[in-house]
């Protein structure tokens, strides 16, 4: 067996919405329907090889140590002490389903899918904490910072409070029945690194109090299923004011979502995707149409819509291929 | 009846712990056992008269418009449109039970007790929102800012999320079974105005994220009754670092509480009172002794202890006197 490549294992990792207004740098949730897929198989040759990348229009690096999926898997092998040129190695094929620089956790989903596929293909059995650490290393290459707020929900699923730290502390938050996310992805891009560069280094103490108070109210609203609390708390006083202008049509789209009955709306990640929440799954299509129409009226751009429960399942192995 | 004074109505308002570590400027809870008492009766003479103040060692202003209880009642009469020299007026007697500048919401308790007594004595029937607005006016006179985080829990009782605003938004938080507060009040004083003056005007963005994340974890821990979450979140990265030195022995007392098994400990309000939390009511006496011993070892000072459930009942009418 050591002389042969193993069977392909295919894993999928979902898109994720990070920040979530007052949850800037602290909240993230997985969505269902948009995802990245990675196939992995063991190889008698040590090391990590990225055989193929499709669906990215040729824009992603093909070099293992520059590609977020490759870097994440290299880190995993390092964490389990298998980075010393020891066999088996792993071969990867990345099928991008998510648009780049979209605010949908695209780089994170690639890293997570690669890790879950590799973990299974090589029978590593790494625990979720290790996978998260490795995925964050992928984010460092893709975005300049090893931020966990996309990879954590893409890996675990659900709606998560992700507190920073060397090992981030993850706390799953309750999702009230029916809570639904509408995503509008416009055909534009916001580079995560550029979006971080516009953030203030310091904020007024009163901003801290207001933002923390809103986050506490949002968490309370989630536990109680209290729409009024949730809605009033879905405000971002920190990132959105300086990032909104990087997303053409943002104010129009956000206003349209609220006018159509959404509980709240904001930038997904650092944009340009805009998310809205509603407790009424039946309203989601109408809210989405209103957002799409507003984008087109305001900018002439056509956006893609996704409707998903808030806090969809995380990454998983979706298929085992035939033995080669 | 209009020519006679009415019966004395006696109301009590409890001490309150505001801030609560990561809940800086956002959380407050009432405690049972330490309180201020105000007696009020209607008078055929319009206006507000402060007949007597006892228990303060002569340190509080006796002039109605300089005393927090008097100012709060003046504001209440203004809010109900009875400030134009219209009868009946009200006569007040303030019985201070709480030490001044103690971090126990002493000024707030006086204002709240005066309002509850006056509301009853004059049959005003003002709703809690009006009473809160009036009480905040008392805080403005006593502390320089109309902050709501002591008067709200002293009035309503419980453990409250108090978000700032012209009309503060109050949200009652759940208190896990057994959650008990230990208070150590040393014989020293910290003026609220001075404690506000040392606060930073701006904070690093990373501090905002860390503090808000801890508050979100604390709220989650309260809903879930999760001691580990509560304990890890009881940290203040904003006020305590700059205020700790204003309270002699603070670090020693805090460390002693934690060593004795407390979930967390911090300054009550802006100090000098220190609070600690435990889920084990049976441990409270031991934690309190450890805190008192640490204070004495570190400073030579003798402190007073109080043990109370977290989130005791709020202000109430405790007695109606005989008709005069």
The pLDDT confidence band at residue B145, using thresholds 50, 70 and 90, is confident
Question: Residue A84 above 80 pLDDT?
Answer: no
Kindly report the CATH number that applies to the domain delimited by A9-172+312-320: 3.30.230.10
Question: Residue A142 above 90 pLDDT?
Answer: no
Helix (H, G, I), strand (E, B) or coil at A64: coil
Q: Is A238 on the interface with B (CB under 8 A)?
A: yes
Structure-model confidence comparison of residues A323 and A173, the more confident one: A173
CB–CB contact B163 A210 (8 Å): yes
Q: Do the first three CATH levels of A9-172+312-320 and A180-309 match, i.e. the same topology? A: no
For B19-70, write each residue's pLDDT tens digit: 999 999 999 999 999 999 999 999 999 999 999 999 999 999 999 999 999 9
Q: What are phi and psi of A203, to 5 degrees?
A: -130, 155
Using the structure block, give the residue that is written with the tokens 């979100």: B216
Instruction: Quote the pLDDT of residue B4.
Output: 87
Q: Is A270 on the interface with B (CB under 8 A)?
A: no
Q: What beta strand segments (E) does A110-242 contain?
A: 159-163, 169-173, 180-185, 202-204
Using omega within 30 degrees of 0 as the cis cutoff, is the peptide bond preceding B171 cis?
no
Question: Residue B166 above 80 pLDDT?
Answer: no
In whole angstroms, what is the distance from residue B178 CA to residue A13 CA? Answer: 42
- Mean pLDDT for B146-170 is 93
- Mean pLDDT for B75-82 is 92
- Mean pLDDT for B286-299 is 98
Helix (H, G, I), strand (E, B) or coil at A35: strand
Q: Is A204 on the interface with B (CB under 8 A)?
A: yes
Helix (H, G, I), strand (E, B) or coil at B9: strand
Q: Which residues, numbered 20 to 49 in chain B, qualify as contacts with chain A under a Cβ-Cβ cut-off of 8 Å?
A: 22-26
Fold exhibited by the domain B180-309? Alpha-Beta Plaits (3.30.70)
Cβ neighbours of residue B288 closer than 8 Å, sequence gap 6 or more: B182, B184, B276, B305, B307
- Mean pLDDT for B283-303 is 98
The pLDDT confidence band at residue A302, using thresholds 50, 70 and 90, is very high
Domain locations in chain A? 9-172+312-320, 180-309
The pLDDT confidence band at residue A1, using thresholds 50, 70 and 90, is very low
Q: How far is B280 from chain A (nearest CA, A)?
A: 24
Question: Residue A163 above 70 pLDDT?
Answer: yes
Instruction: Quote the pLDDT of residue B193.
Output: 84
Q: Which has the closest alpha carbon to A51: A116, A6, A95?
A: A95
A213 neighbourhood in chain B, CB within 8 Å: 26, 161, 163-164
Q: Which residues, numbered 129 to 168 in chain B, qualify as contacts with chain A under a Cβ-Cβ cut-off of 8 Å?
A: 161, 163-164
Q: Is A213 on the interface with B (CB under 8 A)?
A: yes
CB–CB contact B212 A26 (8 Å): yes
Q: What is the mean pLDDT of chain B?
A: 95
For A166-181, write each residue's pLDDT tens digit: 788 999 999 999 999 9
- Mean pLDDT for A67-82 is 94
Instruction: Quote the pLDDT of residue B162.
Output: 97
CA distances from A106 to A37, A192, A199, B179 (A): 11, 11, 21, 43
Query: Of B122-131, B134-143, B303-312, which gets the smallest average pLDDT?
Result: B134-143
**Percent of all residues in chain A with a pLDDT value above 70, rounded to a whole number:** 98
């Amino acid at each position: 067996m050591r002389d042969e490549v193993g069977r392909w294992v295919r894993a999928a990792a979902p898109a994720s919405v990070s920040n979530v207004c007052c949850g800037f740098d602290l909240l993230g949730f997985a969505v269902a329907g948009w995802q990245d897929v990675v196939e992995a198989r063991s190889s008698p040759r040590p090391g990590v090889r990225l055989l193929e990348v499709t669906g990215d229009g040729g824009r992603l690096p093909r070099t293992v140590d520059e590609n977020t999926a490759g870097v994440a898997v290299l880190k995993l092998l390092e964490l389990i002490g298998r980075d010393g040129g020891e066999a088996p190695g792993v071969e990867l094929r990345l099928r991008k389903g998510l648009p780049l620089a979209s605010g949908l956790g695209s780089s994170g989903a690639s890293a997570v899918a690669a890790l879950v596929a590799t973990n299974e293909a090589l029978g590593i059995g790494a625990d979720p904490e290790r996978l998260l650490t490795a995925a964050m290393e992928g984010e460092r290459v893709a975005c300049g910072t090893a931020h966990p707020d996309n990879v954590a929900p893409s890996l675990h699923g659900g709606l998560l409070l992700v507190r920073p730290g060397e090992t981030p502390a993850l706390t799953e938050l309750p999702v009230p029945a029916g809570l639904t996310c509408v995503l509008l992805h416009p055909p534009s891009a916001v580079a995560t690194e550029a979006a971080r560069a516009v953030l203030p280094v310091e904020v007024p103490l009163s901003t801290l109090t207001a933002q923390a108070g809103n986050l506490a109210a949002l968490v309370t609203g989630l536990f109680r299923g209290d729409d009024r609390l949730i809605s009033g708390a879905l405000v971002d006083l920190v990132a959105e004011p300086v990032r909104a202008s990087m997303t053409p049509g943002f104010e129009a789209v956000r206003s349209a979502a609220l006018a159509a009955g959404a509980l709240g709306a904001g930038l997904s990640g650092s944009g340009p995707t805009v998310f809205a929440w509603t407790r009424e799954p039946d309203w989601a299509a109408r809210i989405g149409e209103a957002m799409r129409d507003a984008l087109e009226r305001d900018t002439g751009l056509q956006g893609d819509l996704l409707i998903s429960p808030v806090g969809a399942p995380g990454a998983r192995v979706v298929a085992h291929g035939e033995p080669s």
